[in-house]
């Protein structure tokens, strides 16, 4: 995706009118003031990438902004449950903090439509905090540990666990490593005792063994809904050979839990040389072998894990008891 800066174009070519003309003709989207993108390309972007490109447009628009909180988490390639609603920028003066509406726009055609009505646009949320900043992908961001703690302190339990699990996991290959100890240290300056306690709860629960955001979400929901804690990534052997490694396992109930993410069947990284059909068949045979060995298997997807009522019903139907039913995300 190529963003077009009016200032850069004017400096290199002296052109001051072509962008306005192309915008009026419906060829361009004005992402931020003085920053444009090809309209067809913009509309075709998935939401996460469109958010990232809006961040880069803000970086072209403002003088050396420092990105913080959820925006910094995205730049650090950390897992979040949802695309952030705003571009978070730190370093504002007290009179200039707060949220600003999106400015992304496109010219209307003869029917009065812009063609981007169905697309979410992102405004800026300016924050007073003005701490350290580091370079990441050509952008200024808050340091990794500070970013993680800042987001956890503002999120509910499930979103906090998803982020914390990924931050301390070895599967995070992009960016420097960070440990629980470093995160606890980064949380120590939080002035609110209640907020420090909340962050500590999330960090205490976090585990580097979760291998996807879906697994982290599932495990957090199990905890909030009062289900017994499972073993993670349990290995099953048969005649000395590895039969399977599972997402969740409850030995007392001889119950195996599996989170089914689309990536398992659609992502080339997971498929390797297999087709999606071959991956599905291999998964079925693996599950048949586990059942033949005397285990029960329950599976769920992202939609189920995201819905506490559906998820609780799914696990209870599989025979897993629950000791309580607390509203997810409450403090």
Q: Which stretch of DSSP H or E encloses residue 111?
A: none
Is the overall model pTM greater than 0.75, yes or no? yes
| Residue 222 neighbours by CB under 8 Å, 6+ apart | 228, 229, 230, 315
The rounded Cα 232 to chain-centroid distance in angstroms is 21
Lowest mean pLDDT among 28-32, 180-184, 199-203, 277-281: 277-281
Tens-digit pLDDT profile for residues 157-187: 999 999 999 999 999 988 889 999 999 999 9
Is domain 217-317 in CATH 3.40.960, yes or no?
Answer: yes
Domain locations along the chain:
217-317
CB of 73 closer than 8 Å to CB of 147: yes
DSSP code of residue 95: G
Tens-digit pLDDT profile for residues 248-273: 999 999 999 999 976 544 455 543 55
Rounded to an integer, what distance in angstroms lies between the CA atom of residue 169 and that of residue 148? Answer: 13
CB of 78 closer than 8 Å to CB of 167: yes
CB of 137 closer than 8 Å to CB of 75: yes
Residue 256 burial by CB count (10 A; 0-12/13-18/19+): exposed, middle or buried?
Answer: buried
pLDDT, residue 327, reads 47
Tens-digit pLDDT profile for residues 3-62: 999 999 999 999 879 999 999 999 999 999 999 999 999 999 999 999 999 999 999 999
């Amino acid at each position: 995706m190529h963003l077009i800066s009016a200032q850069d174009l004017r400096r290199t070519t002296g052109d001051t009118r072509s962008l306005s003309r192309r915008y009026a003709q419906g060829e361009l989207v004005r992402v931020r003031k003085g920053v444009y993108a090809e309209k067809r390309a913009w509309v075709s972007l998935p939401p996460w990438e469109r958010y990232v490109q809006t961040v880069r447009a803000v970086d072209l628009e403002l003088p050396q902004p420092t990105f913080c909180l959820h925006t910094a988490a995205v730049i650090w390639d950390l897992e979040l449950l949802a695309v952030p609603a705003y571009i978070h920028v730190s370093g504002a003066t007290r009179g200039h903090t707060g949220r600003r509406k999106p400015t992304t726009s496109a010219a209307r055609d003869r029917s009065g439509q812009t063609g981007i009505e169905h697309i979410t646009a992102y405004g800026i949320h300016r924050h007073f905090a003005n701490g350290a900043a580091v370079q990441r992908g050509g952008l200024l961001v808050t340091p990794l540990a500070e970013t993680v703690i800042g987001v956890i302190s503002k999120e509910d339990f499930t979103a906090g666990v998803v982020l914390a699990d990924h931050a301390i996991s070895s599967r995070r290959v992009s960016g420097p490593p960070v440990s629980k100890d470093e995160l606890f240290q980064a949380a120590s300056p939080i002035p609110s005792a209640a907020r420090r306690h909340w962050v500590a709860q999330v960090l205490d629960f976090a585990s580097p063994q979760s291998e996807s955001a879906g697994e982290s979400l599932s495990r957090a929901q199990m905890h909030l809904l009062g289900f017994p804690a499972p073993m993670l990534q349990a290995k099953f052997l048969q005649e000395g050979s590895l039969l399977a490694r599972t997402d969740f396992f409850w030995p007392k109930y001889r119950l195996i839990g599996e989170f089914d993410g689309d990536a398992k069947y659609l992502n080339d990284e997971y498929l390797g040389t297999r087709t999606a059909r071959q991956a599905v068949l291999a998964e079925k045979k693996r599950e048949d072998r586990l059942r033949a060995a005397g285990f029960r298997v329950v599976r769920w997807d992202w939609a189920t894990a995201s819905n506490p009522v559906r998820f609780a019903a799914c696990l209870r139907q599989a025979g897993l008891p629950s000791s309580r039913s607390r509203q997810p995300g409450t403090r």
